[in-house]
Amino acid sequence: MIAYLRDLAFQIGIMGESFETSVPWSKTLSLCRRVKERIKKTSRALKIPGEPFVSCRVTQTYDVGSCVYFYFGIQFKGVSDPVAKFTEIEHSAREEIIKCGGSISHHHGVGKHRKSFLPEMIGQIGIDTLRSIKKSIDPKNIFANGNLFDV
């Protein structure tokens, strides 16, 4: 349903997206507040018209923490290079998630969109391990080409 709403919103000049993270219970409330504020602050700095829509909800719970989904949208009519600015806002939100002790993703994975955060999250040993596995099972680099790194 969200994808259909996103497409409808785009027709009236609003770009929106959702993203998720996992975080320990002790940091959940702070993470929610800080990420919302970071989105608003970055939007103001980029001179996005109006107040961005931003909300979140806990979608899964565990003994040690939660999965938090964020939803945000901005007006883009009259904004120069709105895709770049939208991407910058989302990137800054992910930076804040990491500062708050959240993960880069809960279950959507890393992919091309979040791969710049991977070295910070798993370190060089993690990168080397993933690269070795990728070379071993996909020596021609056919699958997920360029999602995490170039082999």
Which domains does the chain carry?
2-108 (3.30.300.330), 110-151 (1.10.45.10)
Query: What is the percent of the chain with per-residue pLDDT over 70, rounded to a whole number?
Result: 95
Residue with tokens 């999965």: 67
Whether residue 69 lies in the annotated active site: yes
Catalytic choice (4, 62, 69, 71)? 69
The pLDDT, as a whole number, for residue 150 is 62
**Residue recorded with tokens 């975080």:** 23
**Coil, helix or strand for 100?**
coil
CA–CA separation, 92 vs 117, rounded Å?
11
Residue 123's pLDDT band, with cuts at 50, 70 and 90, is confident
Q: Where are the beta strands (DSSP E) in the chain?
A: 14-24, 53-61, 65-75
Per-residue model confidence (pLDDT) at position 143:
85
pLDDT digits (tens, 9 = 90+) for 55-74: 999 999 999 999 999 999 99
CB 68, CB 28: distance < 8 Å: yes
User: How many helices (DSSP H) and strands (DSSP E) are in the chain?
Assistant: 5, 3
Beta strand spans in 40-144 (E): 53-61, 65-75
